[in-house]
Structure 1
Amino acid sequence: MAEPVFPGVWFVGAGPGDKELITLKGYRLLQRADIVIYAGSLINTELLEWCPQAQCHDSASLALEAIIGLMADGVRNGKCVVRLQTGDLSLYGSVREQGEMLSARGISWQVVPGVSAFLGAAADLGVEYTVPEVSQSLIITRLEGRTPVPEKEQLESFAAHQTSMAIFLSVQRINRVAERLTAGGYPPQTPVAVVYKATWPERRVVRGTLADISEKVRAAGIRKTALILVGAFLGEEYHYSKLYDAGFSHEYRQA
């Protein structure tokens, strides 16, 4: 049965870059949208080929009030509005502030999740963040910038765990990231991978350690749109999962 498209706003995660890494639901909404407001500085604009009948607005130069105004005008005219944002909206997506302003105006809205860049980067590298007996946790964070980071969430504090880490929005200060992670407990030889524009055709990967990654990233000329991955999961140590071990019994298989 076709998904109902009510006069309202759909927040759709566009994925990390590859235009095919959008959910089927997101794709269908783009095809049926009347108005699309997209984060033009971040998403792959080839996605807009799937909504040729829609009015498309680049939000890169718009303030929040202007974006909400476009949404509200569309809904008042009985339109299906799609707010297309990079990756998945649950990470650095600003969906709450937009949703609260829409709700205050009595406008219905829903969220369609997307593929985050940290997942796209792992796919590009062919790695797992959770390696048996090496790391079973992943910390997703960022360096403070115009948006502050709570005191308890400073990089030094997270580094004490020495687990897998994905650091967003921080590559422009990669030297500071490396210094603070080392100060917090990661050994200087901890492997690091910086993935520029994960899943895009022009993606690039720079590998190194906390001791030399800053110099390598600077030499590569990467200043933005890159994810910093840190941890032993990028190294040589690996142990097979017990799940498929012939000697391991579980509910569906006897050893």
Structure 2
Amino acid sequence: MEGRPFASGLYVGSVMHHRVKPVRHRLSYRVFSLLADLDELPLLDRELRLFAHNRFGLLGFRDRDFGPLGGMGLGGMGIDLKGWAEGQLAAAGIEGGGPVRLLCFPRVLGFVFNPLCVWFCHRRDGTLAAVIHEVSNTFGQRHAYLIPAAAGPDGLVRQRCDKGFYVSPFMDMETAYHFRIRPPGGLAGEPLAVSIRQTDAEGPVLHAALTARRVELTDAAILGAWARHPLMTAKVVAGIHWEALHLWRKGLAIRPRPPAPAHPVTVVKSAILPVSEKAFRP
């Protein structure tokens, strides 16, 4: 692979959450994410000494961590993730056939927890067809929102969907997500952003954002990212519980957890928002 970068890459940046009501609370953490081209995973496993696909490594990706819970394939390693995504697109009447790239936290020394994974699903001509927002909670549940996607003239993708899956015990279910995404590019240093505004009937409740820049995926880059954040994935879980303790101490009540949705994927139609939608600021 000398001289030819992968379609996959690392994205180094930060995650921010800012709750605006009924109490104000803000957090920010430095993180790095993996953008995994699903067709490329076996090649990454062969070419990179510090990356492991479906086995233990410094940085790893296991198929079973994504898609439907309990989905197992040959050897118990997980289902065909690209085939699963293509099946979801076909069932929703959305054209696919192109690359499927998954933005997620990788396993670090075998451990990972992903509150949100973002699947970028493309048509055969390379244009973005849909985004799958895959959400996990700390109760062992996972759910996905499949939303059509189209970039506006400013290059941003804007989407909306109603919340249908329990995540935080301190957040009401009767809310909606408004996504604003700068999709990943293919050049080193290019920016990526996933911003979420969560609203209720009276207005904004929470702003969350991942902002990062691309670093080419090499063994040196993997080692550097790990050296800066050696316990990053463990820190994600610890941080979720630490911040929950802060919210509880600020007086927020725990909301009861409803049953998980009957279907693992919510298909959201006609959810592409116009560029004119009012921008939101954390």
Q: TM over 0.5: same fold?
A: no
Under a length normalisation based on structure 1, what TM-score does the superposition of the two structures give?
Answer: 0.25
More helix by share: 1
Greater strand share, structure number: 2
User: What's the TM-score once normalised by structure 2's chain length?
Assistant: 0.23
